[in-house]
Chains A and B, each alone.
Chain A
Amino acid sequence: MLYRDYEPALCIEAQRKLVADLVVSSPRVSGGDIGEIFLDAEGLAYTGGEGKFCRDLLRLVSARGYTESVVGVADSAFAAALASQVARHRWLMIPRGEDRRFMAGLPPGLLPLCDESKETLRLLGIKTIGAYLDLNLDQIRHKFGVEGERAYNLACGLDQFRPMLPLIEKSFQCILDLGGPMESLTDTIFVMKSLIERLVAELVVAGLCAEEMTVSFFSDDLLFEERPIRLVKPSNHGKFLLEVLRLSLEATPLAREFTAVKLVISRTTPESFEQIDLAVPDHDLDFDQHQIINRSAFAYLLQRMETRLGEGAIVHPVPEDQYFPEMAGKWQPLNLRQSINEPVEDPGSDYALRILDGKGLASGLVLKRFPRPEPALVELYGSNPVSITFDNRWYRVMKVTSAERLSGLWWEEPVRKSYYMAMVKPAGPESNVEMIMLTLNHLNRMWSVEGIYD
Chain B
Amino acid sequence: MASKANVTALRQHLEQLFPGKWLVGQEQGSSQKLLRTGIGDIDAGIVRGLPRRAISEWSGAASSGKTTLLRSAIAYWCLSGLSVAYIDTFSRLVAADWAFVEQGICGAMPANLAPRKSRHRGRFMAVRVSQRLDATRKGEITRVALRKEACWVAEQLIKSALFDVVVFDLGGSSFVNDRVYARLHRSLERSRTALILLKDTGARSGPEGSNSSWGAHTRASFQWSDSFSTREGIDNSVMIVPSVKADLARDGLGQRVEIGFSANVSNSLFTYPQIPDRRTSKTRPRTKG
Contacts and interface: CB of A to CB of B under 8 A. Distances in A.
A454 B267 CA distance: 21
Contact of B287 (A69, A349, A402, A436): A69
A35 B285 CA distance: 8
A4 B284 CA distance: 11
Given A84-B289, A361-B105, A361-B267, A367 B97 contact: yes
A27 B185 CA distance: 64
Nearest to A319: B99
Interface residues of B, number: 93
Interface string B101-140: 1011111100000000000100111111100110110000
Contacts of B240: 399, 401, 421-423, 435
Interface stretch (A115-123, A304-312, A439-447): A304-312
B270 A356 contact: no
A52 to B, nearest CB: 15
Interface stretch (A193-201, A263-271, A326-334): A326-334
A70 B263 CA distance: 64
Contacts of B289: 37, 39, 57-58, 61, 69-72, 84
A221 B263 CA distance: 67
Contacts of A274: none
A454 B135 contact: no
Contact of B274 (A1, A66, A345): A345
A85 interface: yes
B153 A305 contact: yes
Interface stretch (A133-141, A146-154, A228-236, A292-300): A292-300
A309 B288 contact: no
A326 B267 contact: no
Interface stretch (B2-10, B44-52, B58-66, B210-218): B58-66
A212 B226 CA distance: 57
B16 interface: no
Contacts of A365: 65, 68, 107-108, 241, 263
B94 interface: yes
A331 B95 contact: yes
Contacts of A352: 267, 269
A112 interface: no
Given A310-B136, A329-B96, A316 B224 contact: no
Interface string A339-376: 00000010111001100101111111111111100000
B107 A315 contact: no
B18 interface: no
Given A70-B287, A329-B96, A359-B264, A364 B62 contact: no
Contacts of A66: 287
- Which has the most chain B C-beta neighbours within 10 Å: A330, A367, A431? A367
Contacts of A359: 264, 267
Q: State which size class the interface on A falls in.
A: 35 or more
B157 interface: yes
B237 interface: yes
A318 B161 CA distance: 24
Given A287-B120, A360-B266, A317 B126 contact: yes
B242 A423 contact: yes
Nearest to B104: A358
Nearest to B109: A362
A300 B160 contact: yes
Q: Which applies to chain A's interface (DSSP): helix, strand, loop or mixed?
A: mixed
A347 B67 CA distance: 26
A329 B98 contact: yes
A401 B238 contact: yes
B128 A315 contact: yes
Between A347, A368, A426, the greatest number of chain B beta carbons within 10 A of the residue's beta carbon is seen for A368
A3 interface: yes
Given A309-B133, A362-B97, A434 B61 contact: yes
A300 B161 CA distance: 12
A330 B95 contact: yes
A432 B269 CA distance: 34
Contact of A399 (B162, B230, B271): B230
A329 B287 contact: no
A321 B271 contact: yes
Interface string B256-271: 0000010111111111
A301 B108 contact: no
B237 A402 contact: yes
A363 B266 CA distance: 6
A334 B102 CA distance: 15
Contacts of A316: 123-126
Interface string B210-247: 00000000000001101010100111111111100000
Contacts of A368: 62, 67, 92-94
A414 interface: no
Contact of A364 (B108, B152, B223): B108
Interface in B4-33: none
A331 B203 contact: no
Q: Pick from B85, B97, B202 the residue with the most CB of A within 10 Å.
A: B97
Given A360-B266, A435-B240, A454-B65, A326 B94 contact: yes
A45 to B, nearest CB: 21
Interface string B277-288: 011110011111
Contacts of A81: 288
B236 A328 contact: no
A240 interface: no
Nearest to A356: B267
A366 B288 contact: no
A226 B286 CA distance: 35
Contact of A436 (B63, B129, B239, B261): B63
A314 B126 contact: yes
A422 B63 CA distance: 12
B149 interface: yes
Contacts of B123: 316
Nearest to B131: A331
A313 B127 contact: yes
A362 B278 contact: no
Contacts of B65: 365, 453-454
A329 B98 CA distance: 8
Given A35-B286, A317-B95, A317-B99, 7 more contacts: A58-B289, A309-B133, A309-B153, A329-B96, A362-B96, A363-B96, A451-B92
16 contacts: A35-B286, A35-B288, A70-B289, A312-B135, A326-B96, A345-B273, A349-B99, A358-B105, A362-B105, A364-B241, A365-B107, A366-B107, A368-B62, A368-B92, A434-B63, A451-B94
Q: Which 10 A-B pairs have the closest CB atoms?
A: A329-B95, A329-B96, A360-B264, A310-B136, A402-B236, A328-B96, A434-B63, A358-B105, A362-B107, A84-B288
